Structure 1
Amino acid sequence: MAGVSLKCGDCGALLKSVEEAQEHAELTSHSNFSESTEAVLNLVCSSCGKPCRSKIESDLHTKRTGHTEFIDKTLEAAKPISLEVPKVAKESEEAIAAGSTSEPEEMVVPEVDKKLLEELEAMGFPTARATRAIHFSGNTSLEAAVNWVVEHEADPDIDQMPMVPVNRHVEASKPSLTPEEMKLKAQELRRGFEWARSCWKQNVLKKKMKENVWWPCGKLKKRKRNEHGKRFVRNWRKIRQREGGSLGCHQRSLQQHRNLLHPLWRRKRAHCQLGLPQRLNKCANVCDPSSKITRMMMRKSREHSRLFLHT
């Protein structure tokens, strides 16, 4: 029985033709091929018609698409394999080359867009230079032609009319997009540019915010403490002036409670004698704990807050 496939002796892959064997050898560097009577598996999906050449490929197709039904067409597609290496026919190319050398080809001026040619001539370009620029820039736009002239201004043959063979003569290419499509494309490009610009601005703002967040924290805290102390002194002076001008006026309210024997009042009295208001006023009398000045002073002392938690 004639062989219907080529089998790779290194990996065991079945190949339909010599071309596939050559491609397999180039990809894997395997060179051990032999003729085999085993046909290449051909499983066709009944849902979408995709051919699968192995069980693994069919399993992958099932996982991707969910198609589970396959038709086995291995015997229908099996054909005897030809071991002859196909050769590229070069006779036609050689005949064309011989004909071109024997008979000179007829050269003609290429066709270009007349509107672009008129615009370039109106700008002051010679006809030959304008035609050459439009032809080699692809007949696309006026800007492309002008750019080509600027780039090739030093060419010696820039003022010569371009010539192309007759068999290569191609009509002027037309724009592939209609004006409406070009407008839509321009709008899409503009939106993309605006989106990229907004992203760039957001990144710049984020960097600036990160730099500003890490401000010298020690200096900031020190400045806040100084401001708090100054504000406290200002308020204390205002209350002192408004309520009598001296801390001693707040001591009279406790004169009637001196005879109280409650231990909590004793603790308050002893603490007030050593507290901050006495040190500021330089007096040893007891201050009224309900006074605004006394309470303001007590906020500055942790011992005051601990003492009056139980009042």
Structure 2
Amino acid sequence: MAGLSLRCGDCGTQLRSVEEAQAHAEATNHANFVESTEAVLNLVCSDCGKPCRSQTEVDLHTKRTGHKEFADKTAEAAKPIDLDAPLKPASTEEAMDVDAPASSASGEPQEMVVPEVNKEMLADLEAMGFATARATRALHFSGNSTIEGAINWLSEHQEDADIDEMPLVPANSKTEANKPNLTPEEMKIKAQELRERARKKKEEEERRMEREREKERIRIGKELLEAKRIEEQNERKRLVSFLLFVPAHAERRRKLGLPPEDPATSKPSAAPPVEEKKSALPIRPATKAERMRDCLRNLKQQNKMKRMRHGSYQDMSAHDLDDDAKVKRAFQTLLTYIGNVAKNPDEEKFRKIRLTNATFQERVGNLHGGIEFLEVCGFEKLEGNEFLFLPRDKVDKAILNTAGAELNSAITNPFFGVL
């Protein structure tokens, strides 16, 4: 959105045009201006027609005159700032150093008079308790534009030694006010400086916001990595405890004089008829999605169990990255198979997989759960278990979409299969 005003970054005064910004800069030496999408208020008194540029001016006008009805004509008066418009020539009164000795071209001293300021704003400042000299000086040096600008100038210069002295300007400054002290080229350069300053301010703010967003992304990433590390560490501890429990259990049986536990009879079978009599609730069969999720979870967990059975606990951390890469590659290979069938259900080459294929065996076949996952998706073993084949009439897009979603979750979710 185009800017509707220029805001002074030093005192907060809002200005309607580049000309007002130039006058404010020359009166106050403020140079930090930025474009603002907030229009300068234009609250017009319904009784006397006096325009007020802020709520403070409205309150002071009401206190002095008793007028309470104001019409908000901000939207009518608001218009985009034209930064390419030629600047108004600075007057001699603004360019001169007030209170400094002045002399005419002939070298004779000039008559010094009090500068003219907005009488209504002067009365408002006096009603607020400021002395006439101090209020006049504040209005003159703040550009004689707004009450807020004058008050901000007073807060910045209240320690000045001459704060209570009446400012003086040459008596003939009004006749010399129409003499420009800037050439058109200089005006154009100054307008360009204002535009460039506003652009740099905006770019600096955008860079600051981007740095804040990057810091937040880094913080969240670190927290996720730390949570994943803790979960994997806890999983390794649980697996090690399980593996250590088995020989300890056998050792306790030996010390108690009990015979070694027979694996075939170690787990007493529950009596299904008794359990069925105790519960009349039907057992919900596992859905396709749950069976797929179990296959993928077993593929990930059994791969780690296999590595722990054949290696030492101290060597596990060194192989974590390779194991995770193998599991992820298996998931991605399965996703490729499922995606090819979903996109080309009529192509038999995508619905037929040779089990003895070296690449298939390396990536999927030798990992527990890979072939079972394909069978859940509808693949069947043919010709003496040499091929996996998905008949055309058994291609179910819904099942394939579910398989793709489960594989995508297993690939992208860092905590998949931890619990």
Q: TM-score, normalised by structure 1?
A: 0.33
Q: Which has the higher contact order (CA 8 A, sep 6+)?
A: 2
Q: Which has the larger radius of gyration?
A: 1
Q: TM-score, normalised by structure 2?
A: 0.26
